[in-house]
Amino acid sequence: MVLAGGKSSRMGTPKELLVIEGQTLIERTCGLLLETTEECMVISNSIGRLPHLPASISIVADDVPDQGPLGGIATAMRCSRQDKLLVVACDMPKLTKEAFRIIVQQAAALEEDVLLPSYRGKQQPLCAVYSKRLYPLITHRLARGSRKIFDLFQEASVREFDMTDCFAYDIFCNMNTPDDYEKIRKEET
């Protein structure tokens, strides 16, 4: 599930439409997911601005707009046929098929509610696997105005998975500002 519903206020332009290596971030992320998971769905508050994506990708509007990533996760859980959802933000240009393969492999026997990857001690809730059984808890928290993912982890069982030894660079780096985008683009050349 790809979360592409943010306002991109610090970037000043929709992050999912930024081009990296000849593809928009949303196209790139969806392509990687299609290679490693059974289902790819995009959750967005701005469906109209998304580029044409393959018919195999479901595009769904947030059930309740402006609830942040947790609201997008709840919408994905309501719509998905899967019991475990690999949820990823669209603004991580260094993610790879190999990273998704490792995460999916680790989640295969997941008994906890969340598989939470980390890199050099930094947890990555927006590139993690969530059990659909969290749906009632998430919707309850959202109804109470609690939108922070890390607060959810206080009530869920979480298995952290350190990916530091798997990659020589931070595959989870994300882009929030034009300077972040320029830095990534310079690394391409």
Mean pLDDT (whole number) for 54-75: 93
Burial label, 117 (beta-carbon count in 10 A; 0-12, 13-18, 19+):
buried
Provide the number of structural domains found in the chain.
1
CATH number at residue 106: 3.90.550.10
- 109 confidence band (pLDDT: 50, 70, 90): very high
Instruction: Find out whether 119 and 167 touch, Cβ atoms under 8 Å.
Output: yes
Q: What is the pLDDT of residues 132-144, one digit of tens each?
A: 999 999 999 999 9
Containing domain of residue 100, as a range? 2-188
For residue 188 the two structure tokens come to 């391409």
Alpha-carbon distance 5 to 167, whole Å? 28
Instruction: Find out whether 41 and 67 touch, Cβ atoms under 8 Å.
Output: no
For residue 64 the two structure tokens come to 């309740």
